Every structure is written in structure tokens, then in C-alpha cells.
Amino acid sequence: MAQTSDRDLVLRARGGEVDAFGEIVRRYQTSVFNVCYRLLGERRDAEDLAQEAFLRAYSRLRSYDVERPFGPWMRTLAARLCLNHMERHRADPLPLDEESDRLAAGGEGPEGAHRATERSEAIRQALLTLPPRQRAALELRHFGGLSYAEIAEAMALPLTDVKSHLFRGRRSLAERLRDVV
Amino acid sequence: MSSDLEPGHLTDEDLQSYLDAELGETKAGWAAAHLRTCAACQERATFMQEVFQALSGLPEVRLGRDLTPGVLDRIGSVNEPSPRWRLLVAGQALAAVFLAAWLGRGAALDWISFAAARLQAQPSWLVEILAWSKTGGQELWMEAQAWVGLGVQALARVPEVTWTRSLSASPVVFGALLVLWLGGNGLLFIPGIGRAGRTL
């Protein structure tokens, strides 16, 4: 039996079928949670913000263009919500000493999976050291696949600022990940 | 990754824009041609591409719990009108009933008398009920008049509408006003209007 399309689910949810929106949540909750987790670094906060993102999406279903893919729209909304959360709570980047301890905690171990896990953890921690806007810009570019112009619209920033955030964020990451990449 | 490059090399920003396919056509053409011949820029581009791939290849983390029940529960509470909105609607309903009664009190008594006269041949208990209704209704109208009159005096003067039994349109007018009022207040219950989360 063919799976119901996102478009049909959204139209049904607009018509008041809450269960249709529940199916949308089930489909996208993991990817939305990961957007929040990459940006916030805390599992509980990420779950809470992911839930808030779905509630906000529900309240904005009528303004959503059903001809556009739902996933990118949903993840962009979540990223914007997380950015507002970070700026409101003035999330500070992790101190370098703390970051070094985390990276050093991996220790020796078997090759392959352990190294891949360490690498992933190093990348995550490096992302969390970035200021909120750089983090959000990288999230939308590398995980959301948005163009510079789309990122500028999503973050309500001039194009030049977006380029600056991406450039500086990547430069910082490159310096931190030189031994990992 | 140094930006202190000799003239003629790709800046870090241009290199990243090139890798993002966000450089203009002319500049992108120059960048591609330069990368074919410049080993230093090639090395920088290769490293930056590896950083891009490391980011994009970051695996997803498993979600520990299903968020669906929590989301659906909160949607349910958001869709219900808040208590304040309910009170507002109830208050409007009462005010509308009193206003309609005030405007049509003459016609209402007229209709009661008319109905009583037409039903005089009917069972006595019915006649008694109708007669009581007229008497009781008159007393109720007088009481309501005292209260409503006070309120009306505080607002703009409400003219007394003289209706007669021959005006068969009066029920239609009242009915139309009632429908309009119900329709207008019914809009409050559309999702997004009068929600519990909104401040009244």
C-alpha cells in the first residue's frame, strides 16, 4: 500500500485531522530532533525544541506552500527556533579546555567504529564551540541544503552576513578539525 | 588555512563560495581554471571539501522517545477556546437576548395575547398556562426593563421599536440578527482564533 504523501497529510491536517499531523510528526521527528541536537548539544533541550517546532509548524500550516517539500521547510523552522532559543539564553561556546578534555577522553580503542565515533563526536563538539549564528548558518547549509539566499531569508539576515557567518564558522571548524578530518 | 595569500590566488571566502556553487558564472570560471594550475589552492580546496564532507556525513543520533503524543496533546489544548473566550461568548449571548427582549417586548406581549385569544377554545390548562405566561411575562418584562433601562441610559439611547402583529417580518428580522450574531461568534472557535494560548 503506497504511503500517503506529505502533501496529502498536510492538507488533511489543515482540514482538522489531527491524526494526519501526528503521522507527519512520526515521519520527521528524528530529523528535526537531530537539527536541534546539533545546534543545542543537549538531548533534553533538543527534544523540547523539536516538540515546539512541530507545534509552531502546526500553527503555520495554512501559510505553508504544499507544492514545496515539507522536510526542508520543517527543518528550517526548527533551526530558526533553536537559533532564537540560543540567542535568548545567550548560549556561550564551550571553553576550549573543556573541549580538549572531551576530545581526549576517547583514549585508545579498536579501529573502525570507535574512530568513526570519536570523529563524529569531535565534529559535534567543534560545532558547539561556534557562536549561535555561525552554527545555524552551517546547519542550514550543510544539513538543510539551503542556498545562501535561502539561508539569508530563513535567518532574516543580509546575504553578506550569511557569507561571513559561513566563512568564519568553517574556518574555525577547519582549524579545530585539522587533525580529525 | 591562511588568508595571507599572494595576489592571484583564491581567497578562502571565494574558495568556499566556489565549492558551494555560489560564485557568479564569470568568477566561477576563473576559479576553476586557477584550481587546475595552482597546487596550493588545490590543496586548500581539497581540505575544505573534506571539512564539508565531514559535516554533511555526520550521522544522525537516535531519538530516545516518541514526540508524537506530547505534540498531539498540546495541539488539542491549543484548539480549545480559552475560558475567557467562553465567558465572552456567553456574555454576548445574554446581552443579545436582553437586547432582543428589550426591543421586541411590545411584539412579544402582543403575540402572547394573540395566541391566548386564538387558543381560548383549547383545553383550560393550556389557556391557564398562556394567561400565566402573559401575566408572569409582564412582570418579568417590567423587572428586566428596570435593569436594562439603566444600562441603556448609560449607553446611546435605544429607540423603542413599535412592532405590530401584522409585521410578519419581525421574527425574520430577529432571526436574521441572531444568525449573524451566532456566525460572528462562531468565528472565534475556528483554530487560531480565541485559542487558549492567546492573551485576551
Which residue of chain A comes nearest to B56, CA vs CA?
A142
pTM of this structure: 0.64
Give the E-state strand segments of B37-93 in sequence order.
Answer: none
Least confident residue range of A135-139, B74-78, B121-125, B188-192: B188-192
- The whole-number pLDDT of residue B34 equals 93
Reported confidence tier of residue B90, pLDDT bands at 50, 70, 90: confident
Reported confidence tier of residue A114, pLDDT bands at 50, 70, 90: confident
pLDDT tens digits, one per residue of B154-167: 655 555 555 454 45
Taking contacts as CB-CB distances below 8 angstroms, the residues of chain B near A143 are 55-56, 58
ipTM of this complex: 0.78
Chain B closest CA to A153's CA: distance in Å?
Answer: 16
A163 touches chain B (CB under 8 A): yes
On average, the pLDDT of chain B sits at 73
Taking contacts as CB-CB distances below 8 angstroms, the residues of chain B near A168 are none
Reported confidence tier of residue A101, pLDDT bands at 50, 70, 90: very low
Least confident residue range of B57-66, B70-79, B82-91: B82-91
Mutate to test the interface with A, among B19, B51, B198 (most CBs of A within 10 A): B51
B16 with A170: Cβ contact below 8 A: yes
- The whole-number pLDDT of residue B78 equals 59
Chain A closest CA to B7's CA: distance in Å?
Answer: 20
pLDDT tens digits, one per residue of B10-58: 998 999 999 999 999 999 999 999 999 999 999 999 999 999 998 988 9
B1 with A171: Cβ contact below 8 A: yes
A141 touches chain B (CB under 8 A): yes
- Hey, what's the cell of B14? 571565494
Chain A closest CA to B38's CA: distance in Å?
Answer: 21
Give CA–CA dist A80/A85, Å, rounded.
9
Chain A closest CA to B135's CA: distance in Å?
Answer: 50
A160 touches chain B (CB under 8 A): no
- The whole-number pLDDT of residue B18 equals 94
DSSP readout, B149-190? HHHHHHSS--PPP---TT-THHHHHHHHHHHHHHHHHHGGGS
Chain B closest CA to A78's CA: distance in Å?
Answer: 14
DSSP readout, A150-172? HHHHHHT--HHHHHHHHHHHHHH
A47 with B74: Cβ contact below 8 A: no
A31 with B192: Cβ contact below 8 A: no
pLDDT tens digits, one per residue of A27-86: 999 999 999 999 999 999 999 999 999 999 999 998 899 999 999 999 999 999 999 999
A167 touches chain B (CB under 8 A): yes
Q: How many CB pairs under 8 A join A and B?
A: 100
- Hey, what's the cell of B109? 406581549
Q: Are A38 and B58 in contact (CB under 8 A)?
A: yes
A66 touches chain B (CB under 8 A): no
